[in-house]
């Protein structure tokens, strides 16, 4: 079992950072950004934890601008996509499973919004951290067909029970399940690339 803390850190535009704690105290911090005091307070409130990883969903600065400060109180290696411009000691492979608690966190490469976009799935299928790939009711801005491929091949096949935790608070609610997204997010309901492109025009 994993506990997820969704942290409304402000930042560039209603950004979220996440603290995830496993039953044995293993902890990961995802996209440290915005108000570092909010992150610090969440880490302190979590009690006796063992920082395992800082995970980045992609290299856009608004998702890791508090990285340096966060490493002072959450000392853990940084993992990111090989193309990510942020300083990351661990360069992920698609499908890589990082040991975490009594399970793992899977890195799923989802190029589209950026070429270095990564989603992270908890092994018990309780949560999916999507960065700017998938928002509640929407997707991250993109120009290429890569996003359509990532969504159809790598996101839609995943378990409906996953809670989608995205990088910005852009939806009607801060988070909801992937099953709900599949039912009501128009970008997950496009039967073809052409339909997807039509839908994308609404984002411009
Ligand atoms: Fe972004």
- Coil, strand or helix: which one is 63? helix
Query: Biggest alpha carbon distance in the chain?
Result: 51
Determine the distance separating the centroid of ligand 1 and the alpha carbon of 1, expressed in angstroms: 29
Over residues 24-64, the pLDDT tens digits come to 999 999 999 999 999 999 999 999 999 999 999 999 999 99
Determine the distance separating the centroid of ligand 1 and the alpha carbon of 136, expressed in angstroms: 15
- Coil, strand or helix: which one is 192? coil
Alpha carbon of 24 to those of 4, 41, 42, 119: distances in Å? 14, 20, 17, 23
Over residues 120-137, the pLDDT tens digits come to 999 999 999 999 999 999
Determine the distance separating the centroid of ligand 1 and the alpha carbon of 48, expressed in angstroms: 32
Determine the distance separating the centroid of ligand 1 and the alpha carbon of 84, expressed in angstroms: 12
Greater pLDDT, 179 or 142: 179
Average pLDDT of the residues of the chain: 96
Determine the distance separating the centroid of ligand 1 and the alpha carbon of 132, expressed in angstroms: 5
Can you spell out the DSSP letters for 2-42?
EEEEEEEEETTTTEEEEEEEETTSEEEEES--S-HHHHHHH
**Rounded distance between C-alpha atoms, residue 72 and residue 70, angstroms:** 5
Over residues 84-123, the pLDDT tens digits come to 999 999 999 999 999 999 999 999 999 999 999 999 999 9
Using the predicted structure, report yes or no on whether residue 11 has a pLDDT greater than 80. yes
- Domains of the chain with CATH codes: 2-203 (3.60.15.10)
Strand intervals (E) in the chain: 2-10, 15-22, 26-30, 50-55, 78-80, 90-91, 97-100, 103-109, 118-122, 127-131, 134-135, 138-139, 163-166, 176-177
Report, as an integer, the average pLDDT of 168-174: 97
Q: Contact 56/117 with Cβ under 8 angstroms?
A: no
pLDDT bucket at 83, cuts 50 / 70 / 90: very high
Token pair for 114:
């950026």
DSSP designation for 132: T
Determine the distance separating the centroid of ligand 1 and the alpha carbon of 139, expressed in angstroms: 11
């Amino acid at each position: 079992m994993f506990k997820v803390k969704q942290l409304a850190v402000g930042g560039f535009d209603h950004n979220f950072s996440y603290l995830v704690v496993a039953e044995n105290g293993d902890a990961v911090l995802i996209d440290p950004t915005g108000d570092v005091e909010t992150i610090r307070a969440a880490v302190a409130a979590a009690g006796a934890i063992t920082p395992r990883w800082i995970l980045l969903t992609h290299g856009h600065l608004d998702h890791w601008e508090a990285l340096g400060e966060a490493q002072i109180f959450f000392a853990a290696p940084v993992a990111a996509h090989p193309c990510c411009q942020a300083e990351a000691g661990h360069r992920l492979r698609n499908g890589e499973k990082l040991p975490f608690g009594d399970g793992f966190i899977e890195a799923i490469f989802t190029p589209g919004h950026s070429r270095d976009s990564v989603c992270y799935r908890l092994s018990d299928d309780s949560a999916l951290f999507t960065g700017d790939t998938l928002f509640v009711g929407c997707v991250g801005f993109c120009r290429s067909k890569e996003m359509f491929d990532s969504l159809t091949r790598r996101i839609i096949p995943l378990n409906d029970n996953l809670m989608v935790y995205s990088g910005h608070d852009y939806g009607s609610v801060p988070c909801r399940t992937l099953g709900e997204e599949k039912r009501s997010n128009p970008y997950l309901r496009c039967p073809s690339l052409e339909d997807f492109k039509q839908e994308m025009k609404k984002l411009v």
